[in-house]
Amino acid sequence: MEELNSFPTWVLKEYFHVEASDYLVMLALIMVLSLAVLYSLTRNLSVERPSWVQHCLEYIVHGFDNLLTEVIGKHGRDYLPVVGTFGVLIFLCNLSGFIPGFMPPTSHLIVTLSLGLCSFVMYNLIGVAKGGFSYFKHFLGPMAALAVLFLPIELVSHCSRPVSLGIRLFCNIFGDHQVGNIFLQLVPFGVPVPFILLGLFVAFMQTFVFVILSSVYISMALPHDESEHPE
């Protein structure tokens, strides 16, 4: 069943005669709006008199920091910008489906697979940057004699990670979005509230799963001394 275009896509088509894929329009809109809003919220930070918005932002950053330190180790904070970007972008994309006339970009398989591929490229680049060519040794197993056996297994395992990340995120957000729309059309008031709460839970949990798995992959790609946890 073909899905109707979201409101921003319709506006582009009707008034600017620009045709674009719905998920691309929504993804670009969320990225631009999130950058603009976050910039406006962080331009006047204060140490002496922090606002309640600053307290909320600091709480979120502190949560990411604790998670990365727990999963990756003492250098987990170094990866806060990239992992935090994943978390904020995916969570906002998941939530956009609750706005009438909007669709969540993460309900499209191309978007979620692209995010999974970005995570895959990221942790492999980190592994090479931190460990050099010795990073590839773990693909060969503990002994040179077992390299022929371990190499294909490790390659299949690593290549399945972005697919797993993308399909898991897509299936959960797409399913939740469709169920929510059906109940909203059947009974506009009252009854959909539990499904909205469930949708919020799904949006948060799927963001959390993507972030923590990406963090685990970074930890596994780092040399042993880099991934040691603080005492």
Cα Rg of the chain (Å, integer): 21
The total number of residues shown for the chain amounts to 231
Q: Are 23 and 117 in contact (CB under 8 A)?
A: no
pLDDT at 141: 72
pLDDT at 2 over 50: no
Tokens 């729309």 sit at which residue?
181
Angle subtended at Cα 118 by Cα 61 and Cα 101, rounded to the nearest 5 degrees? 75
Query: What is the 3-state secondary structure of 127-164?
Result: HHHHHHHHHHHHHCCCCHHHHHHHHHHHHHHHHHHHHH
Region 32-37: mean pLDDT is 94
The model's confidence at residue 229, banded by pLDDT at 50, 70 and 90, is low
pLDDT tens, residue by residue, 149-208? 888 888 898 999 999 999 999 999 998 888 777 776 666 555 567 777 888 999 999 999
pLDDT at 1 over 50: no
pLDDT tens, residue by residue, 106-141? 999 999 999 999 999 999 999 999 988 888 887 877
Region 47-60: mean pLDDT is 90
The residue extents of the domains of the chain are 65-221
Average pLDDT, the chain: 87
Residue 108 tokens, joined = 């499209």
Residue 26 tokens, joined = 């929504």
Alpha helix (H) residue ranges in the chain? 7-16, 22-42, 52-71, 80-95, 109-131, 147-186, 193-221
